[in-house]
């Protein structure tokens, strides 16, 4: 699994709450939803923007997220891996692309003051996952 995804899962990415603790920034607002403090947990599991993208990705499997919750997506993927219903490569490539593009979009907004829509980011994730699957 790529470095960013591993760091994301372990909560090691330099999110704003951590930067504030290190006195690097005083701004802790989430750039994706502009509605909460940017913590690791918020960014990947609670943020409305991230969860809408996760829901779209989840729908690629024909699944449905009840509460638009990324924890559910993660639980679902892990259960599928354990049950061996799906190819692990397919699940992990979608999940990896999801984490990667959420972090990339966050940096895009933070450092370049530009933004992409949920549709656009979902397409990028889908494309990335497809490319990865085809190159196996």
Footprint on this chain of Zn ion (rule: CB under 5 A):
30, 32-33, 47
Beta carbon nearer to Zn ion, 47 or 70 = 47
Find the shortest distance in angstroms from Cβ 134 to Zn ion.
Answer: 32
2-35 b/e (C-beta count within 10 Å ≥ 16 → b): eebbebbbeeebebbbbeeeeeeeeebebbbbee
Determine how many CB atoms are found less than 10 A away from the CB of residue 66: 6
Determine how many CB atoms are found less than 10 A away from the CB of residue 117: 9
Find the shortest distance in angstroms from Cβ 18 to Zn ion.
Answer: 15
Q: How far is CA 14 from the centre of its chain?
A: 15
Beta carbon nearer to Zn ion, 33 or 124 = 33
Find the shortest distance in angstroms from Cβ 85 to Zn ion.
Answer: 31
How far is CA 114 from each of CA 21, 111, 124, rounded to the nearest angstrom? 26, 8, 16
Are 126 and 57 in contact, with CB atoms under 8 Å apart?
Answer: yes
Beta carbon nearer to Zn ion, 30 or 91 = 30
Beta carbon nearer to Zn ion, 46 or 132 = 46
Find the shortest distance in angstroms from Cβ 115 to Zn ion.
Answer: 13
């Amino acid at each position: 699994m790529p470095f960013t995804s591993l760091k994301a899962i372990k909560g090691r990415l330099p999110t704003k709450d951590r930067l504030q603790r290190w006195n690097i920034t005083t701004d802790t607002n989430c750039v994706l939803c502009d509605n909460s403090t940017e913590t690791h947990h918020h960014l990947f599991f609670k943020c409305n923007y991230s969860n809408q993208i996760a829901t779209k990705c989840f729908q690629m499997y024909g699944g449905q997220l009840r509460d638009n919750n990324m924890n559910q997506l993660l639980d679902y993927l892990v259960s599928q891996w354990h049950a061996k219903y799906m190819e692990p490569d397919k699940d992990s490539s979608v999940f990896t692309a999801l984490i990667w593009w959420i972090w990339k979009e966050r940096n895009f907004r933070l450092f370049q003051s530009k933004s992409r829509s949920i549709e656009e980011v979902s397409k990028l994730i889908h494309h990335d996952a497809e490319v990865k699957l085809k190159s196996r």
